[in-house]
Structure 1
Amino acid sequence: MEHGVLQHSLMVVAVLTGLGILFGLILAFANKKMAIEINPLIHVVEDVLPKGQCGACGYAGCMNYAEAVVNNPDVPPNLCTPGKEPVAKLVAELTGKAAAAIEPRIAQVKCAGTHAKAVKANEYDGIQDCMAANLLFGGPKSCKYGCLGLGTCVKACPFGAMTMSEDGLPIIDPEKCTGCAKCETVCPKKVIAMMPIGAHVRVNCNSHDKGAVAKKACSAACIGCTLCVKECPHGAIKMDSNLAVVDAKVCMEKCDNPACLAKCPTKAIRQAVLGIVPGTENIVA
């Protein structure tokens, strides 16, 4: 009886082993038959990319962009913003494409609403994340356009180019910022934007409230007075729903003495000094 059971067990094991080997051979054959050969140039291109996986190129990571730029003749070689001009030239040489010039850019924080300047509407004691805070009455600040100061952008930066100041605002490190715009995409208030490196002035405000409301919520707010617009002889400043907006390209090309700075009553528009807390830039009296 025991001998029969043992014999039966060995037969089952042998059958299962045989089936395993058979399926293994089938899968190996199918894998070889259906394998897609990867162009080795894709890996070469990927190696020259900065590996930030920031998505600034519009693709889900460096490998995806490498595949696209190698395989698709319509994908330009200069989409890697963090890599700047050197990487664009290398990718262009490797793929045999022409690379247009890349304008160097850097992140800016369009808010000077520090703890001392911005009025609180409530106390927030939840998850230390800007998106989470924004879901609760738009955050703790009276100004519903301002930086929430919980550092979601800092955590998202793939290059370690951002830190939170004691004043509750992010500081951009100009030496590390690549202009990839990852921080811009995660900010629920759209406080962060890219500006050209070399910009003369910037508006440290994001509020579209009318003057009296904006000033009550934050002493550093743009109040939409239009004095800067009238003072600029080059038409580089426009008003967008109570907020001054500077055309950095026009300003850089035509202006070497920004008179608008002296006219701003709240000093919301300031010299574009990098690497400091917004609102602490030099003020022209």
Structure 2
Amino acid sequence: MNIIVITILALCAIGVTAAIILFFVAQKFKVYEDPRIDEVEEALPAANCGGCGYPGCRAFAEALVKADDISKMNCPVGGNSVMSQVGSILGHEIKAAEPTVAVVRCNGTCENRPKTNQYDGAASCTIAASLYSGETGCQYGCLGLGECVDACNFDAMYMDKETGLPVIIEDKCVSCGACVAACPKDIIELRNKGPKSRRIFVSCVNKDKGGVAKKACSVACIGCGKCVKECPFDAITLENNLAYIDYSKCKLCRKCVLVCPTHAIHELNFPPRKEKPAEKPIAATVKPAAAPKAEAKTEEAPKVEPTANDETTENK
């Protein structure tokens, strides 16, 4: 009996001693965590999409609290409303950021870009891109296997069976960038939505020379530079035989769209162009016929007054 009691007391003494030691160790190595991290995390949408550049909303909340300037940090899913709430928690003034949306910069449909072979392998764009250039003559275009669609957690993309290209659903796209990271061909880009969701962009990433690009795809950018010369705002650059429109400089004048010979520049959500009235043919001006000249009047012979000799002659 005494052995049992001694054992119990010994175990209790060991437990109390261990608890005291752990308490002092925890106090010694305690890590302070700012309580605002929890508040910021609650304000975030908890999508954990990684569009902010951090592995999750918790990591993003910690970065926001520790940062001295959060003006360049953004939650694409929550948008300006969430960031303004975060700014009020942290005491920062947040400027409204321009909303962005994913854009597919490839128009190589089955009609525009005919196939030259058939891929029969794993249904993964990454695997296909590592094996060969693709089923068509364009090595830069979309592979059409839908890896970007699988990466989207918001059902904002689908593959069009007729064109073989991914389609973005604007209303659902949160601009998280998951599709951008998933595409091995880098044909998806985040661009400003623009006023009334109007955008202009070059729907091509082919860097081959004009003849080669045109042969592979009928609507490829051939690097002719006409759009560069036409743009009055210096928003278009030409590099490696490929034109690119800077959306921060573009004023949506649409002049470049009209001069592109291959229709590689796309304009979205614009009203239809007004047709110019047909020019009236200029009527030939017919000069009126000259009035006939008045005929010269014949001068009458002057009357000769009879002389005295004439009168005597008549009397005889």
SS at match of 2:131: coil
Identify unmatched segments of 5+ residues in structure 2: 276-316
Aligned residues: CA RMSD = 3.1
1:44, CA displacement in angstroms?
1.8
Is 2:113 the partner of 1:114? no
1:246 positional shift: 1.0
2:237–2:243 CA contact under 8 A, matched in 1? yes
Q: Which amino acid aligns with 1:194?
A: L
**Other structure's SS at 1:249 match:** coil
Moved over 6 A (4+): 20-24, 26-29, 281-285
SS of equivalent to 1:216: helix
2:267 aligned residue: 271
* Aligned residue type for 1:217: A
Q: Which residue of 1 aligns with 2:168?
A: 172
CA contact (8 A) 2:210 2:224 kept: yes
* Greater RCO (CA < 8 Å, at least 6 residues apart): 1
**Structure 1 residue identity aligned to 2:119:** Y
Specify the alignment match of 1:51 in structure 2.
Answer: 46
What count of residue pairs does the alignment treat as equivalent? 264
The answer for the alignment partner of 1:241 in structure 2 is 240
TM-score, normalised with respect to structure 2: 0.73
Contact 1:78–1:100 (CA under 8 A) maintained in structure 2: no
The whole-number CA distance in structure 2 between the counterparts of 1:89 and 1:190 is 32
Is the 1:113–1:218 Cα contact (8 Å) retained in structure 2?
Answer: yes
Question: Could you tell me which of 140, 155, 158 is aligned with 2:153?
Answer: 158
Shift in CA distance, 210/44, structure 1 to aligned 2, threshold 3 Å? same
Distance 1:90 1:144, change over 3 A: same
How far off its partner does 1:187 sit?
1.1
Q: Is the 8 A contact 2:227 2:257 kept in 1?
A: yes
Structure showing greater Rg? 2
User: Is 1:260 paired with 2:256?
Assistant: yes
- Contact residue 236 and residue 250 of structure 1 kept, 8 A: yes
Identity of aligned residues (%): 42
Picking from 176, 180, 187, the partner of 2:183 is: 187
Equivalent residue in structure 1 for 2:141, among 128, 137, 146: 146
* Matched residue type, 1:60: P
> Shift of the alpha carbon at 1:265?
1.8
The CA distance in 1 between the partners of 2:22 and 2:133, in whole Å, is 55
CA distance in 1, matches of 2:144, 2:189: 16
Unpaired runs of 5+ in structure 1? 1-9, 275-280
Letter of the aligned partner of 2:230 in structure 1? E
